Chain A
Amino acid sequence: MKTGKIYRIAGPVAVAELDARMFDIALVGDEKLLGEVIQINGNRCTIQIYEDTTGLKPGIPVVNTEEPLNIELGPGLLTSIYDGIQRPLPRLKEQMGDFVRRGATATGIERRKEWEFKATAKKGDDITGGSVIGEVMEGQMLHKIMAPPNTKGKITEISSGSFTVDEVVCKLDSGDKIKLMHKWPVRKPRPTSKKLIPNIPLITGQRIFDALFPLAKGGVAAIPGGFGTGKTVAQQTLAKWSDAEVIVYVGCGERGNEMTEVLTEFPKLTDPRSGKPLLNRTILIANTSNMPVAAREASIYCGMTMAEYYRDMGYNVAVMADSTSRWAEAMREISSRLEELPGEEGYPAYLSTRLADFYERAGRYKNLNNTEGSISVIGAVSPAGGDFSEPVTQGTLRVVKCFWALDSKLAQRRHFPAINWLTSYSLYLSSLEQWFSENVAEDWRSAVDKIMSILQEEEKLLEIVQLVGSDALPEREQVTLQIAKLAREMFLQQNAFHAVDTYSEPKKTYSFMKTILKYGDLAYNALGRGSKVSEIISIKSKEKLSDVKFEKDYEKLLNSIVKEMESEFSRLKVQK
């Protein structure tokens, strides 16, 4: 290994006299602090250091490991909580106490634990990168052991039994040895065989998302919003209820207390589909805002690489990145230390390229081993001043197909999720239509379109109301406003903290839409027959719709509401 010495230290970056390639990992000083080469200038290179640099001085030694930033992939990732460079936080606590101090070393995957390995390949089988050679049970999840992407050969030896991640379970004639665990550089996407068109929805259990702005498995969505609009609550809700098999939650430069909340809450919650604790399918990466900034930059890539590993097994994975703006700011901070010429608002000129590279790693894929898997990415964006024209939001918008715009006006009146239904969009609406019509209801799309057009019409009408007051509107429009109000308050609003309302299955979402539309039809009919607007508006049974949200046995309740509605409307006096 090549060695050198430190020449200069300023904040999170150091300059060293060291022979290195770009993105080599270097160990700085006697404490062997992890750093990454990010610029080379003659015989000097700049290293971003993943730990606090206080007290480092020029002249201390540096060692080049001549390897890029790797993480460990193997059984034991699920239920873990890591810092930005895959060091398990519980192990850091054991070593350093309650505060994260520098110089701790901990492997990403527990070495001592033994796993029951069941070989599925046999002697003589041809193995290429990605081939499944066997499986272990990771909690309740079937964890496939795959040949690392760069291996090739015929199996000469393979055995089932109890192994630690570090023991060889399979040997190839090429000399390659396969263990339960292997390493992969985080900045390099894991190879696949083909990218597929995403056409299956990621069911989130959130009515506004599933119905109006659906996300596909393998799709990418952005949630931008100023502070206090509910980005984190939305991210956490999606992490809880999305029907992905594995969730990677990256807390990137966010609040410590929020990560604690996830840590205390997730073990108590059960997955509505499998009935198992939600934590069992989750990997948490916590780089809070006061942890070293360089590690924050790396945390996003760590999360993505772990997601790719599970995708390669044929699973659907969802990555929650909260928040990509902090990641971009980490880039900005490092870039300004390098004295690079800045682009907009001090961000590096390569910001949008990096954003695109990251989001492009999402998608539905045919894997090297012919299984199909997907990675959906939901990135929170924290625009400065809540202004969506800033570079990170704009760079993100260019690559994502699903835009869930949070609105501080809605948040202020406690309309949650505070997703603005007029500015948000999903380009997956049409490609997912078929799935919904086959799996939920044939007229799903037409119901969605009707609800959407009522909401859009409401916006126009409200402008008029602003000028002339609501009584001056024609009767038909007054009824429309009433239907839109129902859609907003009863349908779009969803209480993430209520045990039942927090998750709404697609069927419930559909029945809900239909009932609101039913009220609309009855109301317009009654109006046509000459009933008074005031009577139509004061139909009692529609108020009960809000109880449906909180009712487990919603079908029975909805049926009774519809019946009541029908009879109430039939009793309305017909004038003329």
Chain B
Amino acid sequence: MKEYKTISRVAGPLVFVKKTEPVSYADMVKVLLPNGEEKNAQVLDTSDDLVVVQVFEGTSGIDLNTRVKFLNQPMRLHVSEEILGRILSGSGKPIDGGPEMVADKIMDIAGAAINPYSRSNPEDFIQTGISTIDAMNTLVRGQKLPIFSASGLPHNEIALQISRQAKVIGKETNFAIVFAAMGITNEEAQRFIQDFEQTGALERSAVFLNLASDPAVERLLTPQLALTAAEYLAFEKDMHVLVILTDMTNYCESLREIGSAREEIPGRRGYPGYMYTTLANIYERAGMIKGKKGSITQLPILTMIGDDITHPIPDLTGYITEGQIVLSRELHQRNIYPPIDVLPSLSRLMNLGIGSDKTREDHKQVSDQLYAFYAEGRDLRGLVAIVGEESLSERDRRLLKFAAEFESKFVKQGKNEDRGISGTLDTGWKLLSEIPESELSRVSPEMRRKYYGKR
């Protein structure tokens, strides 16, 4: 492996190297500083005359005397089951003081698309113990369901509660958690690790940490590494892996940084035009494969900038993921935990995971009816502000009351409260039974006879 001392330009996280032997696209690079420091980098653009590399640890200290070594191989991760219980840096190096890991397999971190023909349909209901998710935005194995949050909202608590409580009823589970932190604060990361330790989940977890103080470009690697580990555990070791990625917003900011350093033509709000593809390459690494026992379920977390759901990051994410759980500042301010706003929330795979053989026969209808009434009730709040409650019809007043009770009894629950699906649906029926039976247009007469007023 030859070393070159032909750096011609350094700009932001990028280093331009002149006149090299042919270098492969996306290969790994070592940058060797005169003071002995070593940095990792990757080829972004390669030609006979010029090679552009992005440096993961930042370019500070790099000068024209810096040497560049091309490693002639793409970025890889050494994986084995030993990765469970370990804490690694955002670029995959152990930082928990433990020994280097012995590799069972060396995998390219870029990953490849699962052949759609090889996928099996995700349909195992995951009970999270949170009513708004279980009853109304059901999570299933192999799904990618992001939490759309905003700064100051308890998305981390919700992610932790889900990882503590998630289970598939009636099935033995060989589970694992892969946690990837991108640019979150040390304090937030500590909370996750402590919680994993307390519940004993740490032994079943692989933790990748790129904190706010770590180099920003490094976090472009973190989800790739985490998902490579997840794929190994799921498809080679038959585990059901829950992958938590937080915070995707920081990841996208780093992507923008690289784009602008390369002087690319930007898309919306300065984010690169290929951000959809890049995000899809992360999110699409969830799923199940025919003939394999394991699965990858993804729970990415992103904070919406300015609480704006149409911002490119949540927008593109929503187009790729199979639904979204949206948190509401208004509910949070009214002290409702979890502050999940069910109206914009959605689980696209819900219909596959519910029904008489999976949850309960009335699940879909109860959910639809709760949605319809709650949406109407919420609309009425706006009306009340204008005309006052007195001028509402009797039906409207009932719906207004329904919306309030729905929030206080159905949405609101404790941080350690693990509700069963049957109990959750019964709570739904209790609320519905306050409304005259004939108005339940989303529920079939048969279900009404069986459940209305009886729970």
Contacts and interface: CB of A to CB of B under 8 A. Distances in A.
A106 B76 CA distance: 29
B121 A9 contact: no
B386 interface: yes
B403 to A, nearest CB: 12
Contact of B273 (A96, A332, A546): A332
B346 A228 contact: yes
Nearest to A92: B115
Contacts, number: 216
A98 B108 CA distance: 15
A412 interface: yes
Interface stretch (A159-167, A214-222, A466-474): A466-474
Contacts of B268: 345-346, 384
A497 B277 contact: no
Contact of B274 (A54, A333, A471): A333
Nearest to B367: A414
A546 B444 CA distance: 9
Given A55-B24, A92-B115, A333-B274, A10 B46 contact: yes
A228 B348 CA distance: 8
A7 B441 contact: no
A461 interface: no
A256 B114 contact: yes
Contact of B142 (A7, A90, A257, A342): A257
B117 A90 contact: yes
A525 to B, nearest CB: 24
B112 A326 contact: no
Listed residue (B114, B281, B316) with the most chain A CB atoms within 10 angstroms of its CB:
B114
Nearest to A471: B393
B323 A260 contact: no
B113 interface: yes
A436 to B, nearest CB: 29
B425 to A, nearest CB: 17
Interface stretch (B84-92, B194-202, B259-267, B405-413): B259-267
Contacts of A232: 348
A546 B372 CA distance: 16
Contacts of A386: 310, 315
Contact of A100 (B44, B115, B387): B115
A113 interface: no
Contact of B284 (A289, A489, A550): A289
A59 interface: yes
A10 B386 CA distance: 58
B32 interface: no
B315 A57 contact: no
Interface string A457-470: 00000000011111
B65 interface: no
Give the size range of B's interface with the partner. 35 or more
B393 A8 contact: no
Nearest to B308: A385
Interface in B306-365: 310-312, 315-316, 318-320, 322-324, 343-344, 346, 348-349, 351-352, 364
A78 B431 CA distance: 50
Interface in B354-388: 364, 368, 371-372, 375-376, 383, 386-387
Interface residues of A, number: 79
Interface in A187-239: 226-228, 232
Contact of A56 (B25, B111, B346, B376): B25
Given A256-B284, A256-B287, A291-B113, A414 B22 contact: no
A30 interface: no
B316 to A, nearest CB: 8
Contacts of B343: 412-413
B438 A93 contact: no
A261 B121 contact: yes
B391 interface: yes
A54 B110 contact: yes
Nearest to A538: B438
Contacts of A255: 284, 320, 322
B116 A89 contact: yes
A406 to B, nearest CB: 13
B151 interface: no
A257 B119 contact: yes
B74 A329 contact: no
B112 A52 contact: yes
Given A10-B44, A256-B287, A387-B310, A346 B115 contact: no
A257 to B, nearest CB: 6
B170 to A, nearest CB: 22
B372 A414 contact: yes
Contacts of A81: 116-117
B153 interface: no
B22 A59 contact: yes
Interface in A244-287: 251, 253, 255-261, 263-264, 286
A482 interface: no
B116 A288 contact: yes
Contacts of B351: 497
Interface string A275-307: 000000000001011110100000000000000
A266 B33 CA distance: 59
A11 interface: yes
B322 A263 contact: no
A93 B118 contact: yes
B289 interface: yes
Contact of A260 (B119, B235, B280, B292): B119
A253 B376 CA distance: 35
B233 to A, nearest CB: 15
Interface string B275-307: 011001100110101101000000000000000
Contact of A8 (B26, B46, B113, B344): B46
Contacts of B419: none
B442 interface: yes
A58 interface: yes
Contacts of A11: 274
Given A333-B277, A467-B386, A543-B438, A286 B114 contact: no
B255 interface: no
A346 B266 contact: yes
Contacts of B235: 98
Interface in A493-539: 497
Nearest to A262: B116
**8 cross-chain pairs, A with B, having the tightest CB-CB distances, nearest first:** A385-B310, A8-B47, A289-B280, A413-B375, A227-B318, A89-B117, A99-B112, A469-B391
Given A93-B115, A228-B323, 19 more contacts: A9-B46, A55-B74, A227-B324, A228-B318, A253-B276, A255-B320, A257-B142, A257-B322, A329-B276, A329-B277, A336-B264, A345-B267, A345-B268, A414-B375, A466-B386, A467-B387, A469-B387, A469-B391, A469-B393
6 contacts: A54-B110, A101-B112, A289-B320, A329-B273, A386-B310, A543-B438
